[in-house]
């Protein structure tokens, strides 16, 4: 009974349950040439179309994102998750210099203010990346320690072990704690009340500015008891609808108890979905390093089991605000993982857009942008002449259906059939019943099975290709499906 009462108290933002996110890596998505006076210009920028390097900048900026908002609206997007935008000395900006200043290469605070206003005018939410486990060598408080040694007033903000510190010479011990032993990323001492309060105020400041939520980088690294509970309470006190989503790749029950995060980046959905739709097409060189394991190949029955286990892992209120994804800035893009097999991508995207929780499209995936492991997965958004319009059309259709049918957003999830290559499930609510079917096999499939828990007999093809028929069999309906090879469909 206690557990049931706890579950009943969990509340997550309703808007997230109806959101389709678009993840933007700001240096690579869009570059405006119209705001040169307010964007720092550099002659050292890499060519936009060149393969990215670990340290090079392409010069993407927030002014460019503003110019792309109509494109995002047409795609069906209503929320953006930005990887870090704050001042930093790296193209990915996970090495924060100043948490209160948007990077000048991105257009500074002026560009962000304009972006936030323009996004909200188009009913697009904006979620920022909060890198609160570590800062950088250029962060003022840590830089003061480098300059003044043991005389710095900020010593206890970080984890100093010995003297002298070696911030740049790798032949000497760093003598301070950096994330994953990276001396470029000094870790905060979160047990220090002043450092902790500083981070809390950053979280509050940008929510007060109108930001709609925080994606939290490596939040599991912060061990200080009560830290994320306090962060949630202070952020929610300003905006109860603010979205708090953590980057946790594995079982996240300890953070999804209703007192910390509203959801996590749902790699537990990603891995079986790629393993099922792509099977042995997965190129192992692209998936062995990241810790999400989209391999080995699994059958429809195995996929159904993994999905049922995932849906039982967290309360339903949390399931509806998970951030579901196929690719991100930390993984190779799915198109490249599967050897550019478009059918695998379309099948996985179909499952993504019909799964409970908020789907997240990694910029460029919708137009067929390839990319291997970092930094290759962070290529620049391609020119329109290089778009794969077939991939784009399928994304638009699926996003449109999700936005049109409430059952695809908040309806229950019921597996109807799962055997060998065919997986069939239903999303239902009080008004709608939607049936989704996929055949991952290389030959057409015909399956027949009883359906007892659906009220209607959905037979209108909403997406894809396939045939459906119903036959009454006493106390149940017999559903027959004919599916092309390597294809999926939606009936409503």
- Structure confidence by residue, pLDDT tens digits, 57-89: 999 999 999 999 999 999 999 999 999 999 999
Contacts with 120 (C-beta within 8 Å, 6 or more apart), sequence order: 126, 210
pLDDT tens for 143-187 read 999 999 999 999 999 999 999 999 999 999 999 999 999 999 999
Residues 253 and 337 in one domain: yes
pLDDT tens for each residue of 293-325: 999 999 999 999 999 999 999 999 999 999 999
Last residue of a domain, one of 404, 439, 456: 404
Compute φ and ψ for 94, nearest 5 degrees: -85, 0
| pLDDT for residue 6 is more than 50 | no
Q: How confident is the model at residue 466 (pLDDT cuts 50, 70, 90)?
A: very high
Determine how many CB atoms are found less than 10 A away from the CB of residue 427: 25
Residues 342 and 445 in one domain: no
* pLDDT value, residue 477: 85
Q: Are 66 and 121 within one domain?
A: yes
Residues 457 and 359 placed together within one structural domain of the fold: no
* Residues 358 and 440 placed together within one structural domain of the fold: no
CATH code, domain with 449: 2.60.40.1180
CATH number for position 347: 3.20.20.80
Q: Which residues contact 393 (CB under 8 A, 6 or more apart)?
A: none
Band (pLDDT 50/70/90 cuts) for residue 41 is low
Count of structural domains, the chain? 2
* pLDDT of residue 439 exceeding 50: yes
Domain that holds residue 439: 411-491
Query: What is the share, in percent, of the chain residues with pLDDT greater than 90?
Result: 92
Which of 404, 437, 462 is a domain's end point?
404
The whole-number pLDDT of residue 2 equals 32
Of 375, 404, 433, which closes a domain? 404
pTM here is 0.95
Residue 100 lies in a domain: yes
Say if residue 399 is in the same domain as residue 445: no
Mean pLDDT (whole number) for 220-243: 98
| pLDDT (average), residues 414-442 | 96
pLDDT digits over 334-367, tens only?
999 999 999 999 999 999 999 999 999 999 999 9
Residue 99 domain-assigned (yes or no): yes
Give me the active site residues, please: 217, 247
> Which pLDDT value is given to residue 7?
44
Claim to verify: residue 99 and residue 127 sit in the same structural domain: yes
Residue 4, pLDDT > 50, answer: no
The yes-or-no verdict on residue 475 having pLDDT over 70 is: no
- If asked whether residues 373 and 466 sit together in one domain, one would say no
pLDDT higher than 60, residue 405: yes
| Cβ 321 vs Cβ 16: under 8 Å | yes
Per the prediction, the chain carries an average pLDDT of 95
The count of other CB atoms within 10 Å of the CB of residue 42 is: 9
Tell me the C-alpha distance between 284 and 308, whole Å: 26
Q: Give the bridge partners for 74, in sequence order.
A: none
What percent of the chain stands above pLDDT 70?
96
Supply the pLDDT for residue 472: 80
Query: Model confidence over 120-132: pLDDT tens digits?
Result: 999 999 999 999 9
Band the pLDDT of 456: cuts 50, 70, 90.
confident
State whether 250 and 129 are in the same domain: yes
């Amino acid at each position: 009974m206690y557990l049931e009462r706890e579950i009943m108290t969990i509340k997550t933002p309703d808007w997230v349950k109806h959101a389709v996110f678009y993840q933007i890596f700001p240096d690579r998505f869009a570059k405006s040439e119209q705001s040169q006076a307010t964007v720092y210009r550099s002659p050292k920028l890499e060519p936009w179309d060149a393969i990215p390097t670990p340290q090079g900048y392409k010069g993407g900026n927030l002014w460019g994102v503003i110019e792309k908002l109509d494109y995002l609206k047409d795609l069906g997007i209503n929320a953006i998750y930005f990887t870090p935008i704050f001042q930093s000395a790296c193209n990915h900006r996970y090495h924060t210099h100043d948490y209160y200043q948007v990077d000048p290469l991105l257009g500074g605070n002026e560009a962000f203010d304009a972006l936030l206003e323009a996004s909200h005018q188009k009913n697009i939410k904006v979620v920022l990346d909060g890198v609160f486990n570590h800062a950088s060598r250029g962060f003022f408080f840590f830089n003061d320690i480098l300059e003044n040694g043991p005389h710095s007033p900020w010593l206890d903000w970080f984890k100093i072990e010995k003297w002298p510190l070696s911030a740049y010479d790798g032949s000497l011990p760093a003598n301070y704690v950096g994330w994953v032993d990276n001396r470029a990323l000094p870790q905060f001492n979160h047990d220090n009340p002043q450092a902790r309060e500083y981070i809390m105020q950053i979280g509050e400041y940008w929510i007060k500015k109108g930001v709609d939520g925080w994606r939290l980088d490596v939040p599991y690294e912060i061990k200080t008891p009560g830290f994320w509970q306090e962060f949630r309470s202070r952020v929610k006190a300003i905006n109860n609808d603010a979205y708090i989503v953590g980057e946790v790749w594995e079982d996240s029950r300890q953070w999804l108890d209703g007192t910390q995060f509203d959801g996590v980046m749902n790699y537990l959905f990603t891995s079986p979905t790629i393993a099922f739709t792509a099977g042995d097409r997965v190129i192992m060189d692209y998936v062995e390093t990241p810790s999400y394991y989209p391999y080995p190949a699994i059958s429809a029955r195995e996929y159904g089991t993994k999905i049922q286990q995932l849906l039982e892992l967290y309360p339903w209120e949390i399931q509806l605000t998970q951030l579901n994804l196929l690719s991100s800035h930390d993984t190779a893009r799915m198109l490249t993982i599967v050897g550019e097999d478009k059918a695998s991508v379309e099948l996985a995207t179909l499952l993504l857009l019909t799964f409970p929780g908020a789907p997240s499209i990694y910029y460029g995936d919708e137009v067929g942008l390839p990319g291997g492991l970092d930094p290759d997965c962070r290529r620049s958004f391609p020119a329109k002449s290089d778009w794969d319009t077939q991939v784009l059309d399928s994304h638009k259709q699926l996003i449109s259906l999700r936005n049109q049918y409430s059952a695809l957003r908040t309806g229950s999830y019921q597996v109807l059939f799962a055997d060998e290559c065919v997986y069939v499930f239903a999303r239902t609510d009080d008004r709608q019943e939607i049936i989704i079917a996929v055949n991952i096999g290389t030959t057409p499939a015909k399956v027949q099975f009883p359906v007892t828990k659906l009220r209607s007999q959905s037979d209108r093809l909403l997406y894809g290709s396939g045939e459906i028929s119903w036959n009454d069999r006493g106390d149940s309906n017999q559903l027959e499906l004919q599916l092309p090879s390597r294809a999926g469909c939606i009936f409503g």
